[in-house]
Amino acid sequence: MRFILVRHGQTYWNIEHRLHGWLDSDITPSSRDLALNLSLEEYFIDSQGVVLFSSDLIRAKRTAELIAKTHQLPMECDQRLRERRFGLLQGEVINEKVNQHSEWLAYSNRYNLPLSGKSFGEEPEIEFVDRILSFLSDSLSNGSQTIVIVSHGEWIRTFVNLCEKRASWEFGAGIPNNMEPLIVDCSEEDIATLLKKHELQRQRARACT
């Protein structure tokens, strides 16, 4: 199974170095042109049955609509593809406010320790991973060998980590550039193994509470 991951087009907030999370900013006119002209056919395993899923946030949805139009693909929005929620830091320019030093420090340290949800009202690591794997689980039953996903930087980074058997919070391959396709091949057997492993981790976590 092949996943073609595309981070949404550059937004006005990206230019301002402002953190989105679940808040939104539209993509720029130049990003619209890039999305409309983005070619993905060379990555399709089979041109038949390719499907496109998008985050429901505007910056991803706008990008996905243009890609779907160019490639004549069916498109579906899914909330599970949203960016990670960043609580109090959403809408803020990164590291701008001195009175949020401890919050930005925790944000900057997110690749060393999984976020717990208690630092600045962020989405806890376990919940973030839950929804990514929920989508991945459903992908097993849609019958397509090529799935295009238009999502967000942290979501894509975490998805790739999981598929490549790294800890979800590690930096890994990092945050992809806007509109730069990233290809991940993952067998159904590997996905099933990943889901079982996560469920065992969930069970152990529940047993400790």
Averaged over successive runs of 10 residues, the pLDDT of the chain (209 residues) comes to 97 97 97 97 91 98 98 97 97 87 94 96 96 95 92 98 95 97 94 90 76
- Tokens, residue 200: 């065992």
Which pLDDT score, from 0 to 100, does residue 91 have?
97
Prediction pTM value: 0.95
The answer to whether the beta carbons of residues 24 and 9 sit under 8 Å apart is no
Using CA of residue 46, residue 47, residue 49, residue 55, what is the dihedral sign? Answer: positive
How many beta carbons lie within 10 A of that of residue 127, not counting itself?
14
β-pair type (182-185, 2-7): antiparallel
Contact 24, 35 (CB under 8 A): no
Query: What pLDDT is stored for residue 204 in this prediction?
Result: 79
Spell out the alpha helix ranges (H) of the chain: 12-16, 29-37, 58-71, 101-108, 125-139, 153-163, 188-207
Q: For residue 14, give both structure tokens.
A: 């990206």
pLDDT of residue 171: 97
Residue in the block written with tokens 């976020």:
115
For Cα atoms 143, 187, 170, give the angle at the middle one, nearest 5 degrees. 120
pLDDT score of 205: 73
**pLDDT for res 98:** 72
The catalytic site residues sit at 8, 83
Q: How far is CA 205 from CA 33, 111, 128, 137, 139, in A?
A: 46, 21, 15, 21, 26
Q: What is the dihedral of CA 97, 56, 171, 186, to 10 degrees?
A: 180
